[in-house]
Homo-oligomer: A and B are copies of this chain.
Amino acid sequence: MAEHARELVKTNGFEHVVEVIEGSMEDITLPEKVDVIISEWMGYFLLRESMFDSVICARDRWLNPDGVMYPSHARMWVAPIRSGLVDQKKIDYDRAMDDWSHFVNETKTFYGVDMGSLTKPFTDEQRKYYLQTSLWNNLHPNQVIGKPAVIKEIDCLTSSVNDLLSLQANISSNITAENTRFCGFGGWFDVHFRGRKENPAKNEIELTTAPSEDLGTHWGQQVFLFYPSTRVSQGDNMTMNFSMNRSKENHRLLEVEFDCELRQSSGNSLPSFSKKFYIE
């Protein structure tokens, strides 16, 4: 990457302006403090892969007191969605379990070996893989069935790694679609180029990865599918406790929990439900 960057600087005649410094942000030493840090650190659902850690390190070590970050701000969003994928994943899971059951029977019948004691761990593994792993998806706006809500706002100038280790949010979303299925949540982010109060951008720019009717973005949306789906309708209200933590085994992986309550427009409350997901 650095080699290619150097080549580009040279062939475009900016050797006297641009110096390429090669190395991990955590290791390198810059010749002086900097006025601007511009970085494309955003992973799926903003924080997947935890690349912002290195940008924070760069900021704390090398940004001038009045320097600016670009992007300067970021927000994470979730919204209730409908999606046919929830059925597909259940079918995939059922098929995997059928195959296993067939395998256990054959192994017993033909070889006299009872594999049944592995059914529990196999089931857990398949459930995690098919039903509890969030997916990359390009949602169409009409798959969003309730009001999107912000679950985290990040000021890139002041956020610390600690602020991002464990996210918590309580949100409420009114269902806006008539008589449909609630199949889980879609998550996305936007970033802003505002600069800072002492040093604002001339033109404020917002880039969003929200569901769109056109081709969408590289990031798409992260979807968390709840099986079984729930019948909902316009005017129903969803309240939700969201939490996101880094996996203990690998800090680049994330674990997410949703605790939901649905109050129907009739006044009825459905039993609350809780779902855990892995962002891998």
Chain A residues within 8 Å of B, Cβ to Cβ? 4, 7-8, 10-12, 113-118, 121
Contacts and interface: CB of A to CB of B under 8 A. Distances in A.
Given A8-B113, A11-B116, 5 more contacts: A7-B117, A8-B114, A8-B115, A8-B118, A12-B114
Contact of A114 (B4, B11, B113, B115): B11
15 contacts: A4-B118, A4-B121, A7-B117, A7-B118, A8-B113, A8-B114, A8-B115, A8-B117, A8-B118, A10-B117, A11-B114, A11-B116, A11-B117, A12-B113, A12-B114
A215 to B, nearest CB: 14
A119 B271 CA distance: 59
Contacts of A115: 8
Nearest to A3: B121
A117 B15 CA distance: 15
Contacts of A117: 7-8, 10-11
Contacts of A12: 113-114
A178 to B, nearest CB: 42
Contacts of A121: 4
A11 B116 CA distance: 9
